[in-house]
């Protein structure tokens, strides 16, 4: 086969440039903000806040950092570090001092999936602390805001069958198609749990993705009737979906919870973080996520606005 050499070289250069561009775009998001009112009571620890690779985590990290900065702490945010397999060891090694974790998922991560997590956030936090304390880490108080597995239907479906809770689905489940991740048929939180706890036997199950774009597109297009989404997903607000209440507590309570190195966890730091968390709701998170993910607003600015609205800065 013969090739036009000029075209071949041009194409090679172009593809290399694309690869280089893709590589170059990572590793941003190391912003520093310092306090304005650092007047009293000696040197305050400098705190590095880490975040997972999704926008909700970046928003939460910025909230923590800015709330602390407002009280005179020197803080920096390291966004987009990666998944928990990256972020949790970074906390243990002291590369970061704090991150916004999730009560059930972090418990199951640190206990190596021992299955201790329950639908009660406070109990998850207690168990998490028992594991974290010997490592020089601790979990603070769980927020009312949670990002956990939930099942959503469109407004039209909810109206048609008068659905508010998962229990309401039982009489009509036989007419509905469930969509979720491929592991759903074998996971207790998903199909088997829905069947056992709520008596839901669906018409069929469609293997899609864990609360991702496929599930959301399938729900929107009516390819499925009920889909697994995460409770704080911005699409819920954007598409006006109805999240069915888990009234029998099938899901683990994945409430937002700060995980922090004990060394920097002074009484004041803890009270600032707990204060932020206590005012944050799942509804707030969903709306903030919608603005970050759907409207592409800056997590940094969203955190700033929320803190201002709630009197932290």
Partner 1 sequence: MGFLTDVFHWFTASAHWHGTNGIPHRLYEHTAMSLGATAAAIAIALPLGVLLGHGGRHGVGGRIGVNISNLGRAVPSLGILYFLAVAIGLRGYPGFGARPALVAMVALAIPPIVTNTYIGVGDVDPEAREAAVGMGMTGWQVLRRVELPLALPLVMAGIRTSAVQVVATATLAALTAWGGLGRYIVDGFSQFDNVQLFSGALLVALLAIVTEVVLGVVQRGLTPGGLEPRGQSGKPEAGEPAAQPAVLAPPT
Number of residues interacting with partner 1: please give it, by CB under 8 A.
Answer: 20
115 binds partner 1 (CB under 8 A): no
Shortest distance (Å) from residue 30 CB to partner 1: 31
Task: Sort residue 147 into left (φ over 0), alpha (ψ -120 to 50) or beta.
Answer: beta
206 binds partner 1 (CB under 8 A): yes
127 contacts partner 1 (rule: CB under 8 A): no
Is position 208 an interface residue for partner 1 (rule: CB under 8 A)?
yes
Span from 48-56, 212-220, 256-264, 279-287 in contact with partner 1 (CB under 8 A): 212-220
Stretch of 48-56, 202-210, 232-240, 257-265 lying at the interface with partner 1 (CB under 8 A)? 202-210
Torsion, Cα of 231, 233, 239, 241 (10° steps): -10
**Closest to 232 measured CA to CA, from 202, 211, 204:** 211
* 211 scored as a contact of partner 1 (CB under 8 A): no
Told to check if 1 binds partner 1 by CB under 8 A, we report: yes
The distance of closest approach from Cβ of residue 226 to partner 1 in the complex, given in angstroms and rounded to an integer, is 15
- The residue within the footprint of partner 1, chosen from 112, 162, 221, 296 (CB under 8 A), is 221
Q: Quick check: 182 binds partner 1 (CB under 8 A)?
A: yes
Position 222 contacts partner 1 (CB under 8 A)? yes
Min dist. Cβ of residue 2 to partner 1 (A): 7
Nearer to partner 1, 166 or 184 (CB): 184
| 138/131 Cα distance (integer angstroms) | 9
- What does residue 48 show for φ and ψ, rounded to 5 degrees? -100, 120
Distances (CA, A) of 175 to 27, 41, 171, 178: 47, 65, 9, 10
Return the C-alpha torsion angle 302, 303, 306, 310, nearest 10. Answer: -170
Sole binder of partner 1 in the list 70, 130, 170, 217 (CB under 8 A): 217
Quote the least distance from Cβ 27 to partner 1, whole Å: 25
Stretch that binds partner 1, among 30-38, 123-131, 159-167, 220-228 (CB under 8 A): 220-228
Nearer to partner 1 among residue 99 and residue 230 (C-beta)? 230
Q: Which two tokens stand for residue 176?
A: 């509905």
Task: Select 2 or 162, whichever has its Cβ closest to partner 1.
Answer: 2
Q: Does 294 bind partner 1 (CB under 8 A)?
A: no
Stretch of 84-92, 101-109, 206-214, 281-289 lying at the interface with partner 1 (CB under 8 A): 206-214
Nearer to partner 1, 161 or 205 (CB): 205
Question: In whole angstroms, how close is the CB of 229 to partner 1 at the nearest point?
Answer: 15
Strands 47-52 and 75-82: parallel
103 token code pair? 């009560």
Residues that bind partner 1 (CB under 8 A): 1-2, 4, 7, 179, 181-183, 186, 206-209, 213-214, 217-218, 221-223
């Amino acid at each position: 086969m013969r090739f036009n050499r000029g075209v071949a070289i041009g194409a090679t250069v172009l593809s290399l440039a694309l690869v280089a561009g893709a590589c170059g775009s990572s590793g941003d998001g190391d912003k520093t903000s310092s306090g304005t009112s650092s007047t009293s009571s000696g040197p305050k620890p400098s705190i590095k806040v880490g975040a997972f690779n999704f926008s909700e985590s970046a928003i939460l990290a910025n909230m923590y950092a800015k709330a602390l900065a407002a009280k005179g702490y020197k803080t920096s945010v390291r966004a987009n570090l990666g998944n928990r397999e990256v972020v949790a060891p970074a906390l243990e090694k002291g590369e970061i001092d704090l991150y916004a974790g999730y009560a059930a998922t972090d418990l199951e991560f640190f206990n190596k999936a021992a299955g201790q997590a329950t639908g009660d956030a406070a109990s998850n936090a207690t168990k998490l602390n028992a594991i974290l304390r010997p490592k020089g880490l601790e979990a603070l108080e769980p927020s009312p805001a949670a990002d956990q597995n939930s099942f959503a239907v469109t407004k039209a479906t909810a109206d048609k069958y008068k659905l508010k809770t998962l229990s309401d689905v039982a009489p009509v489940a036989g007419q509905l198609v469930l969509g979720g991740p491929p592991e759903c048929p074998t996971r207790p939180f998903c199909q088997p749990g829905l069947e056992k706890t709520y008596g839901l036997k669906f018409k069929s199950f469609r293997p899609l993705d864990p609360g991702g774009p496929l599930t959301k597109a399938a729900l929107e297009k009516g390819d499925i009737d009920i889909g697994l989404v995460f409770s704080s997903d911005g699409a819920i607000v954007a598409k006006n979906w109805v999240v069915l209440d888990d009234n029998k507590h099938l899901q683990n309570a994945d409430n937002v919870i700060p995980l922090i190195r004990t060394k920097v966890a002074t009484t004041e730091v803890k009270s600032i973080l707990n204060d932020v968390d206590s005012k944050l709701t799942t509804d707030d998170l969903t709306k903030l996520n919608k603005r970050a993910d759907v409207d592409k607003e800056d997590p940094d600015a969203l955190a700033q606005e929320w803190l201002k609205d709630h009197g932290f800065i």
